[in-house]
Amino acid sequence: GAGVSQSPSNKVTEKGKDVELRCDPISGHTALYWYRQRLGQGLEFLIYFQGNSAPDKSGLPSDRFSAERTGESVSTLTIQRTQQEDSAVYLCASSAYGRAQYFGPGTRLLVL
Amino acid sequence: AQSVTQLDSQVPVFEEAPVELRCNYSSSVSVYLFWYVQYPNQGLQLLLKYLSGSTLVKGINGFEAEFNKSQTSFHLRKPSVHISDTAEYFCAVSDSGGGADGLTFGKGTHLIIQP
């Protein structure tokens, strides 16, 4: 079946604007994850959703970051009042419970 | 807290030569280990995983890795590399089965295959 998809693939925004990134997980995957990959760095875990449980927000870097997921489907990551240090590739992954994570192609965010 | 150290940021290797990409981890509990590959301008792809059982794990594209608990290592190996193996390789660890929480990643190793 189809893999994890993310949109937009690229986003350029001005400092101070809000952005919304979307992730469509693999059908049937109950778990969904957001990561951030800064240039030349590894991935930083941001947030994790598992079914209808309360999300694990332990990796969110500030209160400007938030994410929602409706049931076991689409998730959106919102960054309010973007800053230049938010520029990164934002990756989404999904998994069946207890299984390995499968990643989407990412959204490249550039904050000017 | 978990951490992952990939000791080499870049590894240049001649085509058809063997390669080893090093990964060491620290964790206070049982670990589950993963290698992901990121080809240029593509997303991350799972290469292989260690969850339990045999410490030698075979993955896609001829790669394998060995879990060594005493040395807290999970090095990735391939006996003969190809130009198409040029990519960024990430080692990751989780303390729950199969990665049912956020993974902790290393900073990556850029494998450069030279003709």
pLDDT confidence of residue B97: 53
pLDDT confidence of residue A1: 54
Q: CB distance A106–B43 less than 8 Å?
A: yes
| Full pLDDT tens readout for chain A, 112 residues | 589 999 999 999 999 999 999 999 999 898 999 999 998 778 899 998 988 788 888 888 999 999 999 878 899 999 999 999 999 999 999 988 777 889 999 999 999 9
**Minimum CA–CA partner of A49 in chain B:** B101
- Please name the residues between 59 and 98 in chain B that touch chain A, using a CB distance below 8 Å: 90, 92, 96-98
pLDDT confidence of residue B82: 96
Any chain B CB within 8 A of the CB of A66?
no
Any chain B CB within 8 A of the CB of A50?
yes
Which of B43, B98, B105 is nearest residue A42 as measured by Cβ atoms? Answer: B105
* B41 Ramachandran zone, left/alpha/beta (phi>0; psi -120 to 50): left
Q: What is the pLDDT of residues B90-103, one digit of tens each?
A: 999 987 654 557 88
pLDDT confidence of residue A11: 97
- The Cα of A71 is separated from the nearest Cα of chain B by a number of Å equal to 17
Long-range (24+ apart) CB contacts under 8 A made by A46-55 are A46/A77, A46/A90, A46/B102, A47/A77, A47/B102, A48/B101, A48/B102, A49/A75, A50/A97, A50/B100, A51/A97
Q: CB distance A91–B43 less than 8 Å?
A: yes
Q: CB distance B98–A42 less than 8 Å?
A: no
Q: What is the pLDDT of residues B40-71, one digit of tens each?
A: 878 889 999 998 888 999 999 999 999 999 99
pLDDT confidence of residue A53: 82
pLDDT confidence of residue A58: 82
pLDDT bucket at B115, cuts 50 / 70 / 90: confident
